[in-house]
Amino acid sequence: MFILVFFVGIAFFSAIYGFYFVYLRVNSKKPWDFVIKTDFQPSISILVPVHNEEENIGRKLENIQAVSYPVDKIEVIVADDASEDKTLEKIQAFIDNSPLLNVKVLKQEHRAGKAAVLNAALPLAASPIVIVTDADTYWPEDILEKALPYLSDPTVGAVTGRGINENKGESWVTKSEDNYLQLAFVIRLGESKVHSTIRFEGGFCAYKTTAFEKFDCESGSDDSGTALDVVQHNYRAILVPETVFYTSFPSNFVGKLKIKARRGNQLIGLWIKCFKLMLKRRLVLPKRIVVPEIALFIVNPLVFLVSLVAAISAVVVWPLSIFSLFLLVLAVGLLVFARGLFLELLFDNLLLVYGFFGFILGRRYVAWKKTPNKKTENDR
């Protein structure tokens, strides 16, 4: 019985991943089905949410100033969520030394979380395009020239980029994360070509102000939650493949677990929200995207857990069986020839199980928090 449960579970698990990946891989190679005007240069408001970012904010503002875009069309709004270090002093020093860049500062006296401080800053934005970027991420100078033309089409309400880890070769942890990011890139791009992806990343998110009302405060995922809101307003939310930004990822396992558990919990909350909207027939995001994603984030991890328990039980009951030997050879082979992919798949699904039960029990991540091996990691 244990052996049957294991093989049925693994077959189901692999089929969901395989079919959806192939489907999106094919779609990711198709051309865009809308017009992209390369000369589109609207005025933009760049929101930079911060909490205790004295080590990063100066470099971040210098980075924004260095982008290739008309400086008279840029305003920067630094939204400070009650920082207790020298973040505000660093901002003021930059303003004093760089008068050409229009920088405004919003300071909240009490900590409320990233999405809350973004919503407080949103009324100050005077431009039709609002861009959100984390203080610990950095842009290539052509990022705006590559991303903004996609917003020239009236059907597109939001665009995001893809993060590249600057330290991807530092350890097996960062290498396995890079494998995951490459897989996620294909999925996000394929979904964008089909209609939309709500897997947005905080390093670069650009929204039309007409496409949403406020940043999502419920899930703790201001980026992906707001992307869903954009889609619900009958716009598309897409990944622009040429748009990249640079960040850093913890090189130790504990730091990785904290980030992945947090992100998994937030995305599970969003897919549960999508499921509820689908049941009410109010969901705009196509079912051919929503159903597989619900399977990947909720159903598949639970199936994986059941299969893992069944395999362990079978080994305990029949330790010298052919099945036990098969599992041993399989595990060793995967660790030798596909270590990064195998460990990433194992840990990601176990963390999604943890995130699912945490969500069911009411656990939410909505505040700012320090993460080991990364100067500042915002709960997204």
Residue 96 C-beta-side C-alpha neighbours within 13 Å: 6
Domain that holds residue 331: 1-380
Q: Are 242 and 142 in contact (CB under 8 A)?
A: no
pLDDT, tens only, 278-315: 999 999 999 999 999 999 999 999 999 999 999 999 99
Q: Are 162 and 238 in contact (CB under 8 A)?
A: no
Return the pLDDT at 250.
86
pLDDT of 379 higher than 50: no
Q: Are 2 and 314 in contact (CB under 8 A)?
A: yes
Residue with tokens 């079978």: 314
Return the pLDDT at 320.
87
Percent of the chain exceeding pLDDT 70 equals 95
Residue 70: count other Cβ atoms within 10 Å of its Cβ.
Answer: 10
Rounded to whole angstroms, the Cα distance separating 6 from 29 reads 35
Query: 240 by DSSP, 3-state: which?
Result: strand
Rounded to whole angstroms, the Cα distance separating 51 from 193 reads 35
Rounded to whole angstroms, the Cα distance separating 61 from 53 reads 12
Give one DSSP letter per residue of 289-319, joined into a string.
Answer: HHHHHHIIIIIHHHHHHHHHHHHHHHHHH-T
pLDDT of 59 higher than 50: yes
Taking all residues of the chain, what is their mean pLDDT, rounded to a whole number?
91
Poorest-confidence range of 24-28, 67-71, 281-285, 330-334?
330-334
Number of structural domains found in the chain: 1
pLDDT of 371 higher than 80: no
Return the pLDDT at 368.
55
221 or 77: which carries more pLDDT confidence?
77
pLDDT of 76 higher than 90: yes
Average pLDDT over residues 139-144: 97
Average pLDDT over residues 117-142: 96
Please report, for the domain that includes residue 365, its CATH number: 3.90.550.10
Q: Are 58 and 90 in contact (CB under 8 A)?
A: yes
pTM: 0.89
Rounded to whole angstroms, the Cα distance separating 257 from 244 reads 24
How confident is residue 240, by pLDDT bands cut at 50, 70 and 90?
very high
Return the pLDDT at 376.
38
Poorest-confidence range of 53-57, 290-294, 297-301, 353-357?
353-357
pLDDT of 61 higher than 60: yes
Average pLDDT over residues 19-33: 96
Give one DSSP letter per residue of 13-35, joined into a string.
Answer: HHHHHHHHHHHHHHHHTSPPSS-
Return the pLDDT at 39.
92
pLDDT, tens only, 179-201: 888 999 999 999 999 999 999 99
